[in-house]
Amino acid sequence: MAILQKKICMIGDFSVGKTSLVSRFVRQTFSDKYLTTVGVKIDTKLVKLSDELEVKLILWDIAGNDALTTAASSYLRGAAGFLLVVDGTRLPTWHSALNLKDAIAKQLGEKPFVMLLNKIDLTEQWELNEQILEEKTQQGWKLLSTSAKTGMNVEKAFLELAIQILK
């Protein structure tokens, strides 16, 4: 079986849950402690899409920001796609995600991505309304509500992106 390798970047503002989503996906762990990522951390996970198709995802977990620093943009090189992460309890992180998406398109061109509305377990603090989400869905964006804490839709998010990349 041929082994495919694809580089995926975790994109989003500070503290939206990029590192937590990777830990949940790769190690099935979660911590409430916030340890900000310095620079970039790389993990890998082998994902089986079918009996004939396996792909090794190289996950680049990049330190959060609402803009792409020079260092962060160099981390994007060679990425096949990205997860665009929003903290659903903080509306400004939605706007950060939109800025980041535009900056990435300028650098890499249009690449497959899935937008994650993370921390869905914190529904009582939720700040995203249906209307802004619906608008993006209409534009053909794939949006998923996730929780690194409960694991909801985490596996699905990475699989969905892998499928889009290999399409």
Ligand X SMILES: Nc1nc2c(ncn2[C@@H]2O[C@H](COP(=O)(O)OP(=O)(O)OP(=O)(O)O)[C@@H](O)[C@H]2O)c(=O)[nH]1
Q: Which of 1, 29, 32, 140 is the binder for ligand X (CB under 6 A)?
A: 32
The yes or no reply on residue 17 touching ligand X (CB under 6 A) is: yes
Closest contact distance (angstroms) between CB of 61 and Mg ion is: 6
Residues written for the chain: 167
The yes or no reply on residue 15 touching Mg ion (CB under 5 A) is: no
Contact partners, residue 78, CB within 8 Å, separation at least 6 = 7
**Residue whose C-beta lies closest to ligand X:** 64
* Alpha helix positions (H), 28-121: 70-75, 92-108
Closest CA to 164 of 86, 55, 26: 55
Q: Which of 14, 141, 155, 164 is the binder for ligand X (CB under 6 A)?
A: 14
Binding segment toward ligand X, per CB under 6 A, in 49-57, 66-74, 118-126, 128-136: 118-126
The 119-138 site mask, x for binding ligand X (CB under 6 A), equals x-xx----------------
Cβ-contact 66, 99 below 8 angstroms: yes
The yes or no reply on residue 147 touching ligand X (CB under 6 A) is: yes
Q: What's the CA gap between 122 and 167, in Å, rounded?
A: 34
**CB count, 10 Å around CB of 141?**
14
Closest contact distance (angstroms) between CB of 12 and ligand X is: 6
Binding segment toward ligand X, per CB under 6 A, in 13-21, 67-75, 93-101, 107-115: 13-21
The yes or no reply on residue 99 touching Mg ion (CB under 5 A) is: no
- Beta strands (DSSP E) in the chain are 4-12, 40-48, 54-62, 81-87, 113-118, 143-145
**Residue ranges in contact with ligand X by CB under 6 A:** 12, 14-20, 31-34, 36-37, 63-64, 118-119, 121-122, 147-149
